[in-house]
Amino acid sequence: MTSAIPTSTPLIGSLDLLRIESLGAVLHVRMNRPAKRNAINDALVAQLHTAFVNLPEGIRAVVLSGEGEHFCAGLDLSELSERSAAEGIVHSRSWHAAFEQVQRGKVPVVAVLHGAVVGGGLELASSCHVRVAESSTYYALPEGQRGLFVGGGGSARIPRLIGVARMTDMMLTGRVYDAKEGLAVGLSQYVVADGKGLEKGLWLAERIAQNAPLSNFAVMHALPRIADMGQDDGLFAESLMAAIAQGDEGAKTRMRDFLEGRAGKVKKQ
Ligand code: 1HE
């Protein structure tokens, strides 16, 4: 059941460029600038930062989506014209800070994509942990055509999803991937029919919310770091994380529940 966000978090209730609703342990954060195709201006990036830093107590997963015809048109180009190089660095770092809170914040984030997922919109989507794309989704990095470079973490995150060669092609040639192609190259993990993205995203987020918080933490924080390490260091880091996770009281209860027949089996879907 949808409800207003808890009154203990008035700060996130005041964010006018986001529509935020809690559905039990899942928080739905919707970018709400449809007239500008959810283009990310300074205020929206600051509000995303604030929302993800101040997730209400009890939230175990987030669904991020965009209001209107498109997920996100990227950087608000109307704010770009008068920036000096130094101001450009500060601006890019403000995106990094916000998207870091999405990727390495408190809980996993499921992005529900539709329409344009372009430029900074793709940078934001690539900060999320699971991406569900409706059939209408298309992906592009028009920075090259606009005389820009990615500045919202795209050069670090997107090659980790699709490889440097594909991102190079997107940026140099303006190549656009549709939803099916995006699935094939790794831009999303799911494609669903138009209008079905939110249902799928919420279903996935509810499953994520039922996991042990420490396991979710390990997947968000240990897994990508281990994947960036050399194998020897990675295996050692994995052992540490595994030992911490399995020593947790919650994990012991879950294992007992399975052994005593109280927990569900793995089922073919
Ligand atoms: C915008 C923006 C924007 C729309 N900044 N105002 N991003 C881009 O290069 C993508 C630019 N946008 C587009 O290509 C198209 O707008 C879309 C394909 C996303 C959507 O098309 P459509 O036909 O649905 O909408 P529209 O008519 O183009 O736009 C509606 C309004 O939104 C219009 O304003 P209006 O006042 O005339 O109604 C557009 O000007 C406005 N709008 N997109 C500002 N991006 C950290 S670095 C990241 C670097 C980047 O992201 S570069 C890529 C930027």
Provide the pLDDT for residue 148: 92
Name the pairing type of β-strands 26-31 and 177-178.
Answer: unpaired
Is 1's pLDDT higher than 50? no
pLDDT bucket at 8, cuts 50 / 70 / 90: low
Residue 197 CA to residue 111 CA, distance in Å, equals 9
Structural domains of the chain, with CATH: 2-209 (3.90.226.10), 213-259 (1.10.12.10)
Please compute the mean of the pLDDT values over residues 199-217 and round it to a whole number.
97
Q: Angle, to 10 degrees, between the axis of helix 164-173 and the axis of helix 154-162?
A: 120
Atom 13 of ligand 1, nearest CA residue: 73
Q: Report pTM.
A: 0.95
Q: Using CA atoms, how far apart are residues 163 and 98, in angstroms rounded to an integer?
A: 24
Rg, the chain, Cα only:
19
User: Which residue's CA is minimally distant from atom 32 of ligand 1?
Assistant: 36
How confident is the model at residue 6, as a pLDDT? 54
Q: What is the mean pLDDT of residues 12-20?
A: 90
Q: Which of 21, 69, 143, 238 is an active site residue?
A: 143
Contacts with 81 (C-beta within 8 Å, 6 or more apart), sequence order: none
| Distance from the alpha carbon of residue 140 to the mean position of ligand 1, in angstroms | 12
> For a pocket test of ligand 1, which of 36, 37, 72, 96 has the largest count of ligand atoms closer than 8 A to its C-beta?
37
Contacts of 183 (CB under 8 A, 6+ apart): 133, 189, 190, 191
Within 13 A of 223's CA, how many CA atoms are on the CB side? 13
Instruction: List, chain by chain if needed, residues with CB within 6 Å of any ligand 1 atom.
Output: 36-37, 39, 69-70, 73-78, 92, 95, 116, 118-120, 142-143, 146, 148, 150-152
Residue 71 has pLDDT above 70, yes or no: yes
CA of 39 to the centre of ligand 1 (A): 6
Q: What mean pLDDT is reported for the chain?
A: 94
pLDDT digits (tens, 9 = 90+) for 154-174: 999 999 999 999 999 999 999
